[in-house]
Amino acid sequence: MVRSCLLIVLCFLGLLSGNAQSIDDKEMVVYQSPSDKFVSMSLQAHKGLPRFGVLNMYREQTGGQRQGMRTVRPVRGGKNPVSNDKNKIVTMGKNNFSLLVGLKYLRPFMEDLDRKGLTTITSNMSEKESNSAFLQRFLRSQVAPNLCLTDECKNAGQGKNEFERLRNYTSFVDNCLDPLLDWSKNIMEGDELVGYHVSMLNIGNNYDFDKKGYTVYHSIILNNIFTRKQGILNQVVFNPVKPFEEALQNSIDRNKNIKFLLHIDEQTAERFQKEGIRRLYAVKKIKVKRSNKPMKSPSDAIEFTYSHESADLEMYTDEALTQHFKTVSLADLTN
């Protein structure tokens, strides 16, 4: 009976994985797992590259007509079963991607991991014991249940008593930890990743009739690229490379925002208000790189830097990024 139930669960998970791979490659970037013991990951994509920041939540759309041009906007909470499945796939994919990135950069501390026994937390722990306890907590509570499919791996944090908990932990370490660490080497090859970051620009109702546009704020903080899991914090810091990036860095306010005027003619602004468009989706192409900041312990933040691959800041009226509005240059925001 138990075996039958397990087969049903595995088939269902396999179906989800199959669906993720069958989605148009322009919509998803799939990271295939090296073994059927682990879950393949699907990241939302834009123009064939990973999409970070504000994701498409696959809400159903309503349409509006104006001079033959169709505009769409999301219906709050409107979803169908297919959209729900897609949403779960990309949400799980982003979480698991963040976990695998964490594994990649925690490798140097794995020498401190006790692979044979569960580390007991005490008030006078050595540095090695403290590192082992942190890593075991991360592996047992996050990595195993999220990245693993089979019982020999995913139950690392389970057990009715200390003997069963130890068996489950050592089963994970013996059968799955090293393959997962090897898989993590292929994530962010060369310690960098190129993709698109999406943020929202709130335009509201405060149209400036004199300047013909809206005053908006664009943040250069991108800490929504990775998700935080059980103490693992992946921090992303802006690292100016090009002259226009230096100008952006010198123009930020105390909240790390760039304030600028987004030019929109009155006719378009009125149409936006009639259609309930109160925000735009700003998209920029970025490169995320592992910084040279050393980690003293596995609980330290894993720091990355990012820079812009292009000065283009594309504006869309919908979160699916199908309705392009205009493109402005990041180099013009500080003029």
Cα-based distances in Å from 23 to 28, 43, 64, 208: 7, 11, 28, 43
Q: Residue 42, SS3?
A: strand
Q: Which of the 8 DSSP states describes residue 191?
A: G
Q: What is the pLDDT of residue 83?
A: 76
184 to 96, 115, 166: CA distances (angstroms): 11, 19, 25
User: CA dist 182 to 96, 99, 100, 105, 142, Å?
Assistant: 15, 14, 10, 12, 18
Query: What are the backbone dihedrals phi and psi of residue 144, each rounded to the nearest 5 degrees, phi first?
Result: -60, -50
For residue 322, the model assigns a pLDDT of 95
Give me the pLDDT at residue 69, please: 36
**Identity of the amino acid at 290:** R
Give the Cα separation of 125 and 161 in Å (integer): 24
What confidence score (pLDDT) does residue 89 get? 87
The pLDDT of residue 59? 75
Question: For position 10, what pLDDT does the model report?
Answer: 37
CB 241 within 8 A of CB 310: no
Half-sphere exposure of 209 (CA within 13 A, CB side): 1
How confident is the model at residue 79, as a pLDDT? 55
> Could you tell me the sign of the dihedral formed by the alpha carbons of 117, 33, 224, 72, in that order?
negative
Spans of the chain, pLDDT less than 70: 1-26, 60-80, 229-232
17: left (phi over 0), alpha (psi -120 to 50) or beta: alpha
Q: What is the pLDDT of residue 227?
A: 83
Q: Please report, to the nearest 10 degrees, the dihedral formed by the alpha carbons of residues 20, 324, 73, 50 taken in order.
A: 30
